[in-house]
């Protein structure tokens, strides 16, 4: 299987030109366009109910990666990772919204990608005013102190002739103001047409929540179109390498905050005219840190010594495993690690004595599907699969054949015929934990947890 992936990667990489710029004058601009909680629910990824013409056009004019994964299923650790190119677990940024008051800084040798590009002569910007009537909040959400992350708030603030590196951090489709805003569009998604995963009960509230998420994806695509129009109006569209991706998976139950594919699988589209063959599709597995690597490559910057990203285009080598991690999310203390290869995924729950649905204020108040599950469980109206989510405990290991079981519901961990696969992947996962110096092995002091969030669920 790996050799087949290698051949595909080699063929896919062939249309890409040498990414190293020769001098400052021919260095391209670089733009990251983010969707907050954006999974691959785009029409160019085959979703039947979304209408995403702008993302579709970018995919048709560039390359679409079908198997891109973020390293964490929630924003602050994920963003801390791909803004540095180093796993969040290595740099101590793995607990959600941690280190906001203690002045925690990087380990030696770790820097923001924006700082590296600034030192290479780029003007760096976190864009606030995207276009007429469209603003962002300039989200960074880092779990560390890193000085001033950007030079400005728009590429038009740069010096004449200076290349820019910019981020546009759209909050859509994250829950909050974007969801009611999405419902103001015409041609809303019909909840009756939503295809529910088997772990959801067929309930009107559940259908409405999923449909609203898809509406928010459609609205994100409209915002993407505004950003692309702004680039075109400024004459920058054809000299800018554009990376379009999500910070983590969809903000629906069993997605965001969990290590199933629904929580870590994100879209990745890259467009760079003259360097990427239009309509290319890449099926080899990549992670969000590889976007950081490709960004440095595009700017002609060497990868630093402590760096976990791999080049997407320049001497591309396929990954044989995807490693992901979830740790404390707000008040909810947890530690989960996962490894995914070409066929299987192994999830290690380090707190198996805790429910999947242990209390989390954000999930409880923002995910109505959870309340539906809890209510139906009390009434005895859930099937065995749906009832797992509200059971008091969970298995320590979950093993899924993600090719045959894309919803990851048939746990093979206890099957004797899969013991070798489980042991092999568990060895790989433990080796990754050791090799990358996973800081999650050391629990946070209870005083820190309670200071971070007064309603924290303490470890017994």
What's the mean pLDDT in 190-212? 98
Predicted confidence band of residue 101 (pLDDT cuts 50, 70, 90)? confident
Please give the full DSSP string across 55-99, using - where no structure is assigned. HHHHHHTSEEEEEEE-SSSSHHHHHHHHTTTS-TTTTT--STT--
Indicate if the pLDDT at residue 12 is higher than 60.
no
Report how far apart, in Å, the C-alpha atoms of 211 and of each of 177, 189, 252, 254 are: 16, 6, 11, 16
Q: 393 in helix, strand or coil?
A: coil
Tell me the residue length of the chain: 460
* Average pLDDT estimate for 78-90: 98
pLDDT (average), residues 166-189: 97
Measured from the Cβ of residue 48, the count of other Cβ atoms closer than 10 Å reads: 9
**Residue 208 clears pLDDT 50, i.e. is over it:** yes
- pLDDT value for 451: 64
110 pLDDT above the threshold of 70 = yes
State yes or no: pLDDT of 410 exceeds 70: yes
Query: What DSSP letter does each residue of 34-52 carry, written as one string?
Result: EETT--S-SGGGT-SS---
Confidence band of 446 (pLDDT split at 50, 70, 90)? confident
* Locus of tokens 């890259």: 270
Q: What is the biggest distance separating any 2 CA atoms in the chain, rounded to whole angstroms?
A: 68
Burial state string for 131-141 with b = 16 or more CB within 10 A and e = fewer than 16: beeeebeebbb
Query: For residue 200, is pLDDT > 70?
Result: yes
Alpha helices in 151-203 (DSSP H): 178-182
pLDDT at 460 exceeding the cut of 70: no
Contact 356, 170 (CB under 8 A): no
Q: What is the pLDDT of residues 293-302, one digit of tens each?
A: 999 999 999 9
User: Quick one: pLDDT at residue 5?
Assistant: 40
Question: Who's near 284: CB < 8 A, 6+ residues apart?
Answer: 5, 8, 9, 12, 67, 316, 318, 319
Q: Is the pLDDT of residue 9 over 70?
A: no
pLDDT tens for 314-334 read: 887 899 999 999 999 999 999
Nearest 5°: phi and psi at 310? -120, 150
Task: Give the DSSP H or E segment for 263.
Answer: helix 261-264
**Overall average pLDDT of the 135-159 stretch:** 96
What is the average pLDDT value for the chain, to the nearest integer? 92
Q: What is the pLDDT of residues 43-61, one digit of tens each?
A: 999 999 999 999 999 999 9
Q: How far apart are the first and last CA of the chain?
A: 43
Count of CA atoms in the C-beta half-sphere (13 A) of 86: 27
**Tokens 């939503």 found at:** 194
Q: What is the pLDDT of residues 244-288, one digit of tens each?
A: 999 999 999 999 999 999 999 999 999 999 999 999 999 999 999
pLDDT of residue 263: 98
Of residues 367 and 3, the one with the higher pLDDT is 367
The whole-model pTM stands at 0.93
- Residue 412 above 70 pLDDT? yes
Average pLDDT over residues 89-98: 96
Domains and CATH numbers, the chain: 2-320 (3.40.720.10), 326-452 (3.30.1120.10)
CA distances (Å), origin 100, targets 96, 105, 328, 445: 10, 11, 14, 15
pLDDT for the residue 455: 44
d(CA 377, CA 14): 53
Residue 459: exposed, middle, or buried by beta-carbon count in 10 A (0-12, 13-18, 19+)?
Answer: middle
Return the minimum-mean-pLDDT range out of 7-11, 65-69, 354-358: 7-11
* pLDDT value of position 6: 41
Model confidence at 19, pLDDT cuts 50, 70, 90, reads very low
Q: Residue holding tokens 């069993």? A: 254
- What pLDDT, on the 0 to 100 scale, is given for residue 311? 95
Neighbour-count burial of 159, counting CB atoms closer than 10 A to its CB (0-12 exposed, 13-18 middle, 19+ buried): exposed
Say if residue 458's pLDDT is above 90: no
Once rounded to an integer, what is the mean pLDDT over residues 179-196? 97
């Amino acid at each position: 299987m790996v050799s087949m992936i290698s051949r595909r990667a080699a063929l896919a990489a062939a249309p890409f030109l040498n990414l190293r710029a020769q001098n400052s004058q021919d260095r391209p601009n670089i733009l990251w366009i983010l969707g907050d909680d954006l999974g691959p629910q785009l029409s160019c990824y085959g979703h039947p109910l979304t209408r995403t013409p702008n993302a579709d056009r970018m995919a048709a004019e560039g390359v679409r990666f079908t198997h891109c994964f973020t390293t964490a299923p929630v924003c602050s650790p994920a963003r801390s990772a791909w803004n540095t190119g180093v796993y969040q677990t290595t740099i101590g940024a793995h607990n959600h919204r941690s280190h906001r008051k203690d002045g925690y800084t990087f380990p030696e040798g770790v820097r923001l990608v924006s700082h590296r590009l600034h030192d290479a002569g780029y003007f760096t910007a976190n864009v606030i005013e995207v276009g007429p009537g469209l603003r962002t909040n300039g989200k960074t959400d880092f779990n560390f102190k890193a000085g001033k992350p950007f030079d400005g708030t728009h590429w038009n603030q740069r010096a004449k002739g200076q290349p820019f590196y910019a981020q546009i951090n759209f909050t859509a489709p994250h829950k909050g103001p974007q969801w009611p805003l999405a419902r103001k569009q015409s041609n809303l998604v019909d909840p009756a047409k939503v295809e529910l995963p088997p772990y959801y009960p067929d309930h009107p509230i559940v259908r409405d929540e999923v449909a609203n998420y898809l509406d928010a994806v459609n609205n994100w695509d409209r915002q993407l179109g505004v950003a692309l129009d702004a680039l075109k109006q400024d004459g920058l569209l054809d000299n800018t390498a554009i990376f379009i991706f999500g910070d983590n998976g969809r903000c629906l139950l069993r997605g965001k905050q969990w290590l199933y594919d629904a929580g870590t699988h994100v879209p990745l589209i890259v467009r760079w005219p003259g360097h990427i063959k239009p309509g290319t599709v890449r099926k080899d597995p990549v992670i969000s840190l590889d976007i950081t690597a490709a960004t440095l490559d595009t700017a002609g910057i060497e990868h630093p010594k402590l760096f976990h990203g791999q080049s997407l285009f320049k001497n591309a080598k396929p990954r044989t495993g995807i490693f992901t991690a979830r740790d404390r999310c707000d008040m909810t203390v947890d530690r989960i690690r996962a490894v995914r290869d070409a066929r299987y995924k192994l999830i290690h729950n380090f707190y198996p004595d805790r429910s999947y649905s242990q209390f989390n204020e954000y999930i409880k108040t923002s995910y109505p599907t959870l309340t539906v599950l809890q209510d139906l469980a009390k009434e005895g109206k859930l099937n065995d699969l749906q009832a797992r989510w509200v059971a008091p405990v969970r298995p320590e290991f979950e093993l899924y054949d993600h090719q045959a079981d894309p919803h990851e519901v048939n746990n093979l961990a206890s099957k004797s015929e899969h013991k070798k696969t489980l042991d092999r992947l568990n060895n790989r996962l433990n080796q990754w934990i050791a090799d990358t110096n996973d800081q999650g092995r050391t629990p946070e002091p209870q005083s820190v947890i309670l200071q971070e969030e007064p309603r924290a669920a303490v470890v017994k």
